[in-house]
Amino acid sequence: MFVLIFRLMTMDNPATITGVEMISVYADDFATSFDFYHHLLGLADWSPMGDIAAYFRLPDERGMYLLGKRKSAPRPKSEIRTTFCLGVDSAFKMMAHLREAGVELFFEEPMQMNEETYWFEAVDPSGNIIEFLGGK
């Protein structure tokens, strides 16, 4: 029976990655990071998950889980980091918005990826790199 199940699974290739379903961000300072994602980036649709966690629903029906420091972690928080890319209407407008707020940016202006798409990186309050991809 195991062999039959295995063959059925491999025939449909269940390991095929179809996209990003959720993002997890580990924050050194939950309150500061919550303010960054909620107020500065405008992720308004969220649910509290206790005192040090929140779940933000993204426009594409996926989500982002923000977790502050726990009393015990599987490994030091300084080792847990993530990088993800958020889609925006205008990479230039988002970069200007973040620059005005004093957010650390890696470039002077977004890099052109193709005729219609621009990309740049910024740093959240916990040192996580966030990528942004959007139009002009």
Q: Kindly report, residue by residue over 110-124, the tens digit of the pLDDT.
A: 999 888 999 998 989
Phi-psi region of 61 (alpha: psi -120 to 50; beta: other; left: phi over 0): left
Q: Kindly report, residue by residue over 84-116, the tens digit of the pLDDT.
A: 889 899 999 999 999 999 999 988 999 998 889
Q: Between 103 and 128, where is the model more confident?
A: 103
Q: Tokens standing for 53?
A: 């966690």
Q: Kindly report, residue by residue over 16-43, the tens digit of the pLDDT.
A: 556 676 788 888 899 999 999 999 999 9
Q: Tokens 């847990």 identify what position?
A: 80
pLDDT for 34: 96
pLDDT for 24: 82
Q: Kindly report, residue by residue over 36-85, the tens digit of the pLDDT.
A: 999 999 999 999 988 888 999 988 888 898 988 765 444 554 555 667 88
CATH code for the structural domain at 23-135? 3.10.180.10
Q: Tokens 């491999």 identify what position?
A: 10
DSSP state for residue 110 in the 8-state scheme: P
Least Cα distance to 68 among 101, 36, 32, 99 occurs for: 32
User: So where are the chain's domains?
Assistant: 23-135
Residue 58 dihedral angles phi and psi, to the nearest 5°: -90, 160
CA torsion angle 90 93 95 96 (round to 10): 170
